[in-house]
Amino acid sequence: MKVIKPRTLAARRLRAGDTVEVRSIQEIEATLDDRGCVDGLPFMPEMAPYCGTVHRVFKRIDKIIDIVEYTGLRRMSGTVTLEGIRCDGRAHGGCQAGCQMLWREEWLRRYSGERAQGAGIAERAPGNPVLTRESGTETPTEEVYRCQATELFRASSFLPRWDPRQYLSPLWSGNVTLVEFLRGTSIELFNTVQRFRGGCEYPHWVGSQLEKTPTLSLGLRPGDWVRVRSKDEILQTLDRRNRNRGLWFDREMVRYCGGRFRVLRRVERLIKESSGRFIRLKNSCVILEGVTARGEFYRFNPQNDYILWREIWLERLEGGAAEGAPQGCVQRILDV
């Protein structure tokens, strides 16, 4: 199959804040290979309704964290995220992760103020097996899905830790401000020195020695207000691997401790990125409005994933106002 790559984007790569229009479904289909991908990244059915619509670039995706093969950060190119556009999981078994969808530059055009002829919101594409489900992997009791999250390893390449461009690129692309850049690089430098010296890293905590972690159900529902418990309170619920019932409490979550937020939704089913298998969580968790991973401790990883919270890490409030929630930690889910 011959893949056509549009050349209408200007030579300058897209940056955060640029305005773009999503190409028509016909134009996008012409860029896809036999697996429905461009350079390993699939175009998903959930993306089709946005064809012909105009959006601002949220962040340029210059790197991702590999949660398929667990090799660490990997390089990506020619890819961006758009403001407010997340996967609703409709073509992937109702997955509730809410990943921010990744857009190849080939699927976008710079917005000039005029819509392309015939542009409009496309009909939602049906669940095309080529795009959503791995052929030959179904069993009578299990389905294996394929989405952007499961294909991140194929869609990325090796990224040497010593490559200085990965630190400068987020600043150049507008992903982070100068203040965020200086803070992040200072923390990275400090922690690198501390690891070499065998000292305490930032933020510091002493791990728990629990073998079996406690659980608590608050019966939270969308719209409920909660306060994130203090770091010390949460540490008492973790095992020696900093997990509660298999869910990792990450150091990027510490910034939210003490904050007040509203519950966006409960999460009970997800696609496991490393296998593509659909899993139902043994212990449900919740997502909080605006609470996403900034990537400050992961060399400014721009994926902006939602953070999953155990209810035992939260306290129900009768009311309150959400404190500022920074944008932008990836949690590995084990036995959840």
**DSSP letters along 210-265, please?**
BSS---------TT-EEEEPPHHHHHTT-BTTSEETTEE--GGGGGGTT-EEEEEE
Residues 247, 149: one domain?
A: no
Residue 141 CB neighbours (<10 A): 5
pLDDT, mean of residues 213-233:
94
> 43 with 135, same domain?
yes
Residues 313, 236: one domain?
Answer: yes
Same domain as 153, residue 43: yes
Joined together, the tokens standing for residue 265 give: 């939704």
Residues 234 and 112 in one domain: no
- Evaluate whether residue 179 is within a structural domain: no
Instruction: Show Cβ contacts of residue 263 under 8 Å, excluding neighbours closer than 6 positions.
Output: 220, 221, 222, 223, 224, 225, 226, 286, 287, 288, 289
Number of structural domains the chain divides into: 2
Looking at the fold, whether 41 and 152 belong to one and the same domain comes out as yes
Q: Do 148 and 272 reside in the same domain of the chain? A: no
Residue 107 belongs to what domain range? 19-158
> Average pLDDT, stretch 9-30?
88
Tell me, yes or no, whether 238 and 131 share the same domain: no
Query: Looking at the domain assignment, is residue 202 inside a domain?
Result: no
Give the pLDDT confidence of 171-213 residue by residue, as tens digits.
Answer: 999 999 999 999 999 998 999 999 899 888 888 877 778 889 9
Output the pLDDT for position 130: 38
Residues 307 and 229 in one domain: yes
Task: Over range 273-292, report the average pLDDT.
Answer: 91
Same domain for 127 and 29, yes or no, is yes
Query: Which has more pLDDT, 11 or 103?
Result: 103
* Residue 334 lies inside a defined structural domain of this protein: no
Predicted structure pTM score: 0.84
CB 172 within 8 A of CB 162: no
Domain co-membership, 244 together with 125: no
